[in-house]
Amino acid sequence: MIKCVSNKKVYATKELAEEALIEAHSQFDYKGKGPIAVYQCDDCGYFHLTSKGSVNQKLAELLKGDKIQRTREANQWLHKIKRK
């Protein structure tokens, strides 16, 4: 497993980090907080999520529509069903 001195989760590519960013927003309702972008780390050379800077373009496009909200609601229902 790849590690970084920052102790942040490491993603091998920008694409994987963007997928993780979108998945995180599909799982959690950050209400204006939480990760909004990805960046390449100067220490390890891999990618991390960040709550600073400009909103990732792919994330911004999905947030404009209702796809992330619908996915989040579907995940909440799945969680409820699994708990029964």
Say if 25 falls within a structural domain: yes
Is 4 inside a domain boundary? no
Neighbouring-strand partners of residue 11: 47
pLDDT value of position 84: 66
How far CA 18 is from CA of 7, 25, 71, 77, 83, in Å, comes to: 19, 11, 16, 24, 29
- State the pLDDT confidence band at 72, using cuts at 50, 70 and 90: confident
The model carries a pTM of 0.81
Q: What percent of the chain has pLDDT over 70?
A: 99
Range of the domain at 76: 14-83
Total of domains in the chain: 1
Asked if residue 76 belongs to a domain, the reply is: yes
